[in-house]
């Protein structure tokens, strides 16, 4: 009986973590889209991929989950560059784009 209760609690905890992680990924994707739009570059594949997940402290000293998402963008439509969106908890810590060529008009 206790093992079933423990396994149920573990399954519920895993589901809650997964839903939270999906929400953070949606925040990262929306922020990356807005950032690319503001810089007049095209976000490719409309996708962010989790590349790293660690613990880090925020500016208030609280321990948060730090997630690093990778994405690709293009400045001219003929090239691909890498970008990174760093999330600290549910807050955007940084969005960085690799050095890239600007289109010549």
Distances (CA, A) of 51 to 2, 69, 83: 37, 6, 12
105 three-state secondary structure: coil
Residue 102 is assigned to a structural domain of this protein: no
Distances (CA, A) of 21 to 8, 16, 62: 20, 9, 18
Residues 7 and 51: their CA atoms lie apart, in Å, by 29
Domain count, the chain: 1
Residue 105 is assigned to a structural domain of this protein: no
Residue 104 is assigned to a structural domain of this protein: no
Domain enclosing residue 6, as ranges: 2-97
pLDDT, tens digit (0-9, with 9 covering 90-100), for 54-65: 999 988 999 999
Helix residue spans in the chain (DSSP H): 2-38
**Per-residue confidence at 33, pLDDT binned at 50, 70, 90?**
very high
Residue 25 is assigned to a structural domain of this protein: yes
């Amino acid at each position: 009986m206790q093992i079933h209760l423990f396994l149920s609690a573990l399954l519920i905890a895993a589901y809650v973590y997964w839903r939270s992680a999906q929400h953070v990924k949606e925040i990262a994707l929306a922020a990356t889209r807005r950032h690319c739009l503001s810089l007049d570059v095209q976000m490719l594949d409309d996708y962010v991929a989790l590349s790293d997940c660690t613990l880090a402290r925020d500016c208030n000293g609280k321990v948060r989950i730090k997630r690093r998402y990778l994405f690709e963008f293009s400045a001219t439509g003929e090239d691909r560059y890498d970008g990174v969106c760093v999330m600290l908890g549910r807050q955007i810590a940084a969005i960085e784009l690799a050095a890239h060529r600007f289109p010549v008009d």
